Structure 1
Amino acid sequence: MADDYAAHFPDGPGMPVDRAVIGAFADLARTHAPAPVADLGSGPGGVTAMLDGLGVPVFGVDVSPRMVELARRAHPGLRFHVGSMTSLDLPDGTLAGVLALYSIIHIPDEHLPATFAEFHRVLLPGGHVLVGFQHGDTEDRLHLTERFGHEIALDYHWRTPEKVADLLTKAGLDVQARVLREPQDEEKRPRAFLLARKSLVV
């Protein structure tokens, strides 16, 4: 469904609150330039391009080869590569920031601690993580078999901000801000954003 998804969501988040949170994250990330930000679950590249437009050195990572192909086509001046946020092919302590916007929703609960440990590993001391996700009950899960007219098998895991904050903290990432907004337009669930920071002393 990558082509139809990219056509439906070509430019990343359009909601002002989402864009404001990403802008604040970009301000923090720029203080570590030229160290880059990794946009994990970058999809068709709209958010990666938004960060680039805000003056952030950035590259995108997505598990879908087709999404990476579409992102490279839409944004030929930016870097995108295939990879998984659960096992990043990146050196320790090299990133100014990690952005995971609506992508941890595809990570099962049992894999989230190791995923957040990966975020911690690749961050510079003082680097930031921004995660955005749909708010839901801890055990709430959706299995989709169709989207955009295509047969798929895709799980969505909804979580509370409290649960995600606890897992970030246990991974050594200090939560600094929480933003929760109500559903807009066709959305059915609230959106949560958590900003966390790797300690300067590691």
Structure 2
Amino acid sequence: MTAPAHLAATRTAYDSVAALYAELVGNVESNPPVDRAMLAAFAELAGPAGPVADLGCGPGHLTAHLAALGCAAFGVDLSPAMIELARAAHPRLRFDEGSMTALDLADGSVGGVLSWYSTIHTPPEGLPEVLAELHRVLAPGGHLLIGFFGSDEPSVLPFDHKVTTAYRWPLDRFAALLDDAGFAEAARMSRAPVDGERPLPHGRILARKPV
């Protein structure tokens, strides 16, 4: 299968900024308290169901956070440079290079999937394929927590993310795609940006794969 064209550009872009990216965002405390609360709720729900995959794990800080919360967490990232940093920072955890469009995971093999801003560079027409892959690897009854840049506009909008082109999604439209992919929404949150963040809303959706 031919990989989607945007993946090579995304991989190269993150390889080139991996060290700086890790320095800027590689700390759980950089996430606002409401985000950490949602991550904790996800860990409580997903952890008992089996391994938890942090997809688009970057430097591995959230993988380590989930592990500290009791999850059997492991990370996957498209960027070899990010995986190298994650392994160096968290040598006791598993980190694999891989793409969310074709994960090297068996059907129904994980109890939870965290996708924290890891779909933001996927063009809108490619997102259903990614969500279908997340649904495939998640066990029945397992949970998905997905974080992304939101939008107050009705349309999906591209913007300059500085690393590479990203997309902003209205919360309802993203939720509809999850429903189409077979997920059942459990909770959602939209929050305003905090100091130091770009002036965009942020969306979070917690969903479940029905039994």
1:19-168 to 2 correspondences below 5 Å: 19-32=36-49, 35-136=50-151, 137=153, 138-143=155-160, 147=162, 154-168=164-178
Whole-angstrom CA distance in 2 between matches of 1:15 and 1:3 = 22
2:208 partner SS: strand
Per-residue CA deviations over 1:90-118 (Å, capped at 9, x if unaligned) read 10011101100011111111111111111
Whole-angstrom CA distance in 2 between matches of 1:10 and 1:31 = 26
Per-residue CA deviations over 1:134-170 (Å, capped at 9, x if unaligned) read 11243311245xx5xxxx6x11111011111000000
* Residue equivalent to 2:12: none
* Residue equivalent to 1:186: 196
Q: CA deviation at 1:31?
A: 2.4
Q: CA deviation at 1:87?
A: 1.2
* Residue equivalent to 2:208: 197
Whole-angstrom CA distance in 2 between matches of 1:163 and 1:140 = 12
Whole-angstrom CA distance in 1 between matches of 2:46 and 2:76 = 17
1:170 maps to 2:187: no
Whole-angstrom CA distance in 2 between matches of 1:98 and 1:129 = 5
- 190-199 or 3-12: which moved more? 3-12
Per-residue CA deviations over 1:64-89 (Å, capped at 9, x if unaligned) read 00000000001111111110111111
Aligned residues: 191
Q: Percent identity?
A: 49
Q: CA deviation at 1:7?
A: 1.0
Whole-angstrom CA distance in 2 between matches of 1:139 and 1:158 = 6
Q: CA deviation at 1:30?
A: 2.0
Normalising by structure 1, report the TM-score.
0.91
Contact 2:56 2:76 in 1 (8 A): yes
Candidates 28, 31, 54, aligned match of 1:14: 31
1:80 partner SS: strand
Contact 2:124 2:156 in 1 (8 A): no
Contact 2:47 2:112 in 1 (8 A): no
Consecutive unaligned residues in structure 1, runs of 5 or more: none
Provide the alpha-carbon RMSD of the alignment: 1.2
Query: In the alignment, residue 52 of structure 2 is paired with which amino acid?
Result: V
1:68 partner SS: helix
Per-residue CA deviations over 1:9-48 (Å, capped at 9, x if unaligned) read 121342100000000000001221xx20110110001100
Whole-angstrom CA distance in 1 between matches of 2:173 and 2:27 = 29
Consecutive unaligned residues in structure 2, runs of 5 or more: 1-16
Whole-angstrom CA distance in 2 between matches of 1:69 and 1:81 = 9
Q: CA deviation at 1:8?
A: 1.1
1:186 partner SS: coil
